[in-house]
A and B are shown apart, each in its own frame.
Chain A
Amino acid sequence: MNRGTPLTQEEEQRYARHLALPSFGMEAQCRLKESSVLCIGAGGLGSPATMYLAAAGVGRIGIVDDDIVDASNIQRQLLHVTSDVGRSKIQSTKDTLLAMNPNIELDLHEERFKPENAMNLAKGYDVLIDGSDNFPTRYLSNDVSVLLRIPNIHGSIFRFEGQVSVFAPHLGAPCYRCLFPDAPSEGAVPD
């Protein structure tokens, strides 16, 4: 684990509650500042995930999404507001996250997460967050994170239920394919 980057005075004020937290403090906060996350998708899962990471002071956040904000997204995708309907999700994501925390660095990838670009997009990040809403992308983000040896923080939701796990074979944990080698039955792994 790296030792982290020193905080500015403004950051010390901003993260005061973290800094005052026993067993978190300056050391953990500096590590956050030094670290990076790639989030696949700026939708229902990607919204709270990236917003909290931005607010918490994670130094570099990458987001991959090629979608446009639809009126039906606003009910749950908090990165985007009513006036964003019709805009690209990446643009409204940028506005929201920088308004929350201008200190962070954003890597905005307005493209689909595909086999052709996935390895290059994910390379260099400390952690990958799977905020995808479909099986192909879920398998792809799993495969990429396993091959790059970075933890894949999986989340999925269906109707009234959801699930979370950290897939990381390099840490002795299973990956998504250990659970569902190929075709999961309908409902077992909701998308």
Chain B
Amino acid sequence: MLGVLPGVIGTLQATEAIKILSGIGSPLTGKLLHYDALSSGFRSIKLRTDPECALCGNNPSITDVTEVDYSLPVTERTHASITVEELSTKLKNKEPIVLLDVREPEEAAQCNIEGSTLIPLGQLTHRLNEIPPEAKIFVHCKSGKRSARAVTLLKREGYTNPINVEGGMDAWLNLKEE
């Protein structure tokens, strides 16, 4: 990440705080201000409240944060998944699995899990011929989000029970550091 970028965004956050606290100007509510450093552009996107919002909608279901599972987004939880510890054991035991890495090549170049097959998420639909249909497939990315989408895609394409690696490379690196 470009180091100066959080400087721009964090400074905008401070600006909004100062405006709200001192009572000057109008706050950046109902709008999302997007900044692109490469094209030097600011864009303001209008936002709408969602009457169905689980938190601030008409019938909120979230009323106590201690009752919310913040560990993973919902779509990830709905897939079959394994932890990096379980994956590590499978690899150690040399189980016949296909470990699919759906990150981008530059991410894989920095660190990868030995024996994994790299097919970036965006190319997956065109490269399914590289994945044997009968294989036991485990999918990982950096954090578990892209791999969850890959699992959805694989299921749609008829693969039986592709499995998401929870927490992805981030969790894997944490495990290896311990």
CB pair B23 A28 closer than 8 Å: yes
User: Whole-angstrom distance from the CB of A116 to the nearest CB of chain B?
Assistant: 6
A177 within 8 A of B: yes
What residues of chain A lie closer than 8 Å to B135, measured between beta carbons? none
- The size bracket of the interface on A is 35 or more
A92 within 8 A of B: no
Within 8 A of A (CB), among B137-178: 141, 143, 145-146, 148-149
Q: A47-B10, A115-B68, A115-B70 are in contact. Are A160 and B2 (CB under 8 A)?
A: yes
B28 within 8 A of A: yes
CB pair A162 B145 closer than 8 Å: no
User: Whole-angstrom distance from the CB of A183 to the nearest CB of chain B?
Assistant: 3
User: Whole-angstrom distance from the CB of B54 to the nearest CB of chain A?
Assistant: 6
CB pair A1 B10 closer than 8 Å: no
CB pair B9 A157 closer than 8 Å: yes
Select one of A126, A156, A175, A191 contacting B53, CB under 8 A: A175
CB pair B56 A135 closer than 8 Å: no
CB pair A153 B13 closer than 8 Å: yes
What residues of chain A lie closer than 8 Å to B54, measured between beta carbons? 177, 181
CB pair A24 B12 closer than 8 Å: no
CB pair A165 B7 closer than 8 Å: no
Q: A126-B21, A174-B56 are in contact. Are A164 and B28 (CB under 8 A)?
A: yes
**Hey, what's the 0/1 contact readout for B5-34 against A, CB within 8 Å counting as 1?**
111111111111110111110011111111
CB pair B11 A76 closer than 8 Å: no
B59 within 8 A of A: no
User: Whole-angstrom distance from the CB of B121 to the nearest CB of chain A?
Assistant: 7
What residues of chain A lie closer than 8 Å to B74, measured between beta carbons? 182-183
What residues of chain A lie closer than 8 Å to B12, measured between beta carbons? 155, 164
Select one of A49, A144, A157, A184 contacting B14, CB under 8 A: A49
Binding site for A on B (CB under 8 A): 1-18, 20-24, 27-38, 47-50, 53-57, 62-63, 65-66, 68, 70-76, 121, 141, 143, 145-146, 148-149
Listed A/B pairs (15) with beta-carbon separation below 8 Å: A49-B10, A56-B18, A78-B7, A129-B17, A140-B70, A154-B13, A159-B5, A163-B32, A165-B32, A166-B27, A169-B56, A171-B27, A173-B47, A177-B53, A186-B141
The 9 closest A-B pairs by CB, nearest first: A44-B6, A183-B73, A173-B29, A169-B56, A48-B10, A76-B3, A28-B22, A162-B9, A52-B14
Give 20 A-B pairs besides A48-B7, A137-B70, A162-B5 with Cβ atoms closer than 8 angstroms. A44-B7, A49-B11, A52-B11, A76-B5, A78-B7, A131-B10, A140-B70, A147-B63, A153-B20, A155-B13, A160-B2, A160-B38, A163-B32, A164-B13, A175-B49, A175-B56, A178-B47, A178-B48, A183-B148, A186-B146
